Amino acid sequence: MIRLVVGLGNPGKEYERTRHNAGFWLVERFAQASGFTLRKDPKFKALVGKNAAGAWFLLPQSFMNLSGQPVQMLAGFFKFKPEEILVVHDELDFAPGVARIKQGGGIAGHNGLRDISQRLGSHDYWRLRLGVGKPPAGGEGADYVLQKPAAEDKAAIDQAIDRSLAVLPEMLSGDMQAAIQKLHSSEPVKKAEPEKKAEPEKKAPEPQKSPGLLKSLFGKK
């Protein structure tokens, strides 16, 4: 059973539409749809709310690289185990529109996950990864996630959030395998690009024989 859902992002107007705030987007939409409020709690340095079923939702307000402190404080206060925590975050390794669930694993350079793992002393919490795509060639991931996605990418991310919200009740109830199967199987299939027709091979031009050579071979002596 998931007892704490953490959405990762950076506080402040200048960051609210950036890729790094994908975790915030999902939790905010779930709170709005479920009818509960996320209120600022100075004790936990976060926006905190609780749904009708008793699960807690948290948006750290201490910036991404310090996300672990609010998580550690709330989890410690209520004695939540790492496996009872779900962290929702942006994922560079997935294209926009992809959403995947996993437990544990590497942090792939994500500063929010790094701090949470260090503070909890464990990687065993669950993760809901929302693809935001990779930066263009030569670009830095740290700069890329702090930029707003293009309209097409934002629409794809929103669709992934919609599909994730549809399976969140299963996750909260502890039926993780059902949630994984539903979410991963609902991923849109990419259309195959039409195969390019092979161009006919061009024959190399035959070398022209020199008239002088012909005369020497076939001319009268």
The class level of CATH for 4-185 reads: alpha beta
Domain segments of the chain as ranges:
4-185
Encode 140-188 in three state secondary structure: CHHHHCCCCCCHHHHHHHHHHHHHHHHHHHHHHHCCHHHHHHHHHHCCC
pTM of the model: 0.84
The encoded tokens of residue 52 equal: 């009708």
Specify the 3-state DSSP secondary structure of 129. Answer: strand
User: What pLDDT does 218 receive?
Assistant: 47
Q: Considering 20, 89, 110, 123, which one is annotated as catalytic?
A: 20
> Would you say 7 and 27 are in contact if contact means Cβ atoms under 8 Å apart?
yes
Q: State pLDDT tens for residues 28-85.
A: 999 999 999 999 999 999 999 999 999 999 999 999 999 999 999 999 999 999 999 9
Higher model confidence: residue 9 or residue 106? 9
Q: State pLDDT tens for residues 181-215.
A: 999 998 776 654 555 555 555 555 555 555 554 44
Is-catalytic flag, 110? no
